[in-house]
Amino acid sequence: MTIRARDKQVFLIVRKLIHDWDPYRLLEIGAPEDEWDREILGIAGCVNRIGNPAGAAKVISEIFTEAFQPEGFGQADCAEIGTKLFTALNDAGLIQTAKP
């Protein structure tokens, strides 16, 4: 797989999960499909920091806290979406898991 193909696959996985999560329900009320793309690109750019579910939650928390506010985007708040992201990326063979 080329780097470009890998990056696109990472982006599409992150995008699907963030769209499903849609923290402010913006897509649900008719926001454009690219509403979360800035945050999605930020998360996709940090994929090398994701080696476990907690690492994924931390990345999501950092990106959304920087873009919006800390309230509602702490690591604990992002634990479920972090687990989903880690699992999807790991299942696709796109990350190296951290050794215990």
Give CA–CA dist 31/13, Å, rounded: 20
pLDDT of residue 21: 98
pTM, full prediction: 0.92
CA 12 to each of CA 33, 44, 62, 69: distance values in angstroms, whole numbers, following the listed order: 13, 9, 20, 25
Q: What is the pLDDT of residue 1?
A: 72
pLDDT computed for residue 2 by the predictor: 82
Q: Looking up tokens 């996709």, which residue turns up?
A: 44
Confidence at residue 46, expressed as pLDDT on a 0 to 100 scale: 97
Counting every residue written for the chain, the total comes to: 100
The CATH code of the domain at 3-91 is 1.10.340
Kindly list the averaged pLDDT for each block of 10 residues, start to end, along the chain of length 100: 90 98 97 97 97 97 96 97 98 81
